[in-house]
Structure 1
């Protein structure tokens, strides 16, 4: 039996200072917080990896690009004024992360890309869009596009967004599909569709955004949604091509990070564990044993919700992760750590 459903795909070195004898004046300067880094290489890297810092910024000092804290947010996590695209943002993990970005310092705007028509009134997406207008003083814009078959439209939308705002600062590539089918029954068409959305679609989306970042000479952060299934085989869940596609996303993220790092574009992946979405709830109706067995497979004996990944998205798109690229942030309740 073949079951097809959409799912939401489903910190840092500590430096130790060597004790040294310092003069009274030096101690006073340190107490006042005015000791500057003197290593040119350190200054270069600090400038390069500050996600809000254009590559052409003047050198000669450590870049401090943190805006004033908003609503108690640490300044490093503030996304004020950012323009961010979320693919697959109409439901599940994508729409929840879009809301988190809006909350993290009143983002200039979030643009959602999804293959389905704009969600109707009363949907989670429309509730978030209304909240953005009424409470957060910002906006969410919806663009219907298929990242696998509508690459020309994808590039046009992203270019229009960049033209409108004069830049793009970040991307969450969350568009993806799932299909549960035994390997012996998988057709070539099924495999092509799965890999086309989950791998080629992610590449095309990242490419479209990075192309505009390069065009405007701005730095930024790309977050690709992978899965713990890209690292492990899911016990009792028969989805070989899906798992292979997510392993490909993790490797794709590393390679894009290597290639685009000199441009000031960071690329990281998030690998969620099992996420309980509306679609997965329907799956539990058909396979009730999974609702009890899946939690037992991780160290927290629990299943995650889309809200559990809000902080990870804000972290990776903000200056809090400015020296992080080519990494996979696995958030799976310890599932793959056994």
Structure 2
């Protein structure tokens, strides 16, 4: 009797399995920035379209979950985007479908900018647009950002990455150098965020702003004497919280709803850091020993985090500081 019951159960389970096996879910499609993972989920190169619903609309789960990273048709600004980390983050936004305007004070962007622009146009049909402007020049900055917003009647996001560095002991720091450092690293970030927020309010875009701070805004780096740089990055972390508080609520006219967060990178291998090593201002070995992974980071390791903060994937996140430092601050 027991054996007959067991046979019936197995047969029933088998019929359910046959029914389920005939259902073929649509393959998961990822944004281009996640291309290295694509082959794990689907062999199709077709891109998943998105309805661009507002933040208030719930997203379906399952095979459409990662569509929240799709920023196709959206317009972004990256300050400090002519080279280095800013350029790398701008590339990530283009790879995910964004139209990206890079602002920098360089008369001509780094040669890597032109190479990136050509590659992105060829591979994903995206575009990097360069504008020469100093983030400390409020009038020029407001004009450029207003023109960018007017082009397509929208501005969806900002990455404020423009910054300078100076290694000088506190006892030797000239007041003019302090003012210069803060004018770029703090005031320039403030002015950039404000100019972009004005356009978001004007076109009633629930945008997202990402301020590039540093783990140096949370700790004093061993073996690296940069008191003003570190202080300026601490100010950027606090600025993100205050702007998030001011701009987060929706207004009766439909404006507002702007999210503001910060990313605090750890030590990154860039030409500027290599110059620090060459001058003896820092030790590569010491910096590697100071984190839990035993190595320095690469600029491309911050692409996905920036995309997360500027996309609908982080729609309930604001006023936060995302520390990505290989565990340096976790000891």
Task: Give TM-score, length-normalised by structure 1.
Answer: 0.77
> Is this contact kept in 2: 1:97–1:310, CA < 8 A?
yes
Matched, 1:114 2:114: no
1:222 to 191, 194, 209: 209
> Is this contact kept in 2: 1:82–1:168, CA < 8 A?
yes
Report deviation, 1:53: 5.3
Report deviation, 1:137: 1.4
**Would the alpha carbon gap of residues 178 and 65 (structure 1) be closer, same or farther in structure 2, given more than 3 Å must change?**
farther
Counterparts in 2 of 1:67-106, with a 5 A limit? 74-104=66-96, 106=97
Matched, 1:256 2:243: yes
Structure 2: how far apart are the matches of 1:166 and 1:96?
A: 26
Cα RMSD of the aligned pairs, angstroms, is: 1.9
Correspondence for 2:129: 141
Report deviation, 1:288: 8.5
Report deviation, 1:87: 0.2
Correspondence for 1:297: 290
Higher gyration radius (CA):
2
Deviations 1:109-143 (A, max 9, x none): 100000111226xx111011112322221211111
Report deviation, 1:289: 6.6
Report deviation, 1:283: 2.1
Counterparts in 2 of 1:6-25, with a 5 A limit? none
Task: Give TM-score, length-normalised by structure 2.
Answer: 0.79
Matched, 1:165 2:152: yes
Structure 2: how far apart are the matches of 1:134 and 1:259?
A: 41
Correspondence for 1:267: 260
Structure 2: how far apart are the matches of 1:177 and 1:128?
A: 23
Matched, 1:287 2:280: yes
Correspondence for 2:316: 323
**For 1:74, what is the secondary structure of its paired residue?**
helix
4+ runs deviating over 3 angstroms: 52-55, 62-66
**For 1:269, what is the secondary structure of its paired residue?**
strand
Unpaired segments ≥5 residues, structure 2: 1-51, 250-255
Report deviation, 1:245: 0.3
Structure 2: how far apart are the matches of 1:304 and 1:229?
A: 15
Correspondence for 1:155: 142
Structure 2: how far apart are the matches of 1:94 and 1:205?
A: 14
Compare relative contact order (CA 8 Å, sep 6+) and give the higher one, 1 or 2.
1
**Would the alpha carbon gap of residues 65 and 193 (structure 1) be closer, same or farther in structure 2, given more than 3 Å must change?**
farther
**For 2:166, what is the secondary structure of its paired residue?**
strand
Report deviation, 1:76: 1.3
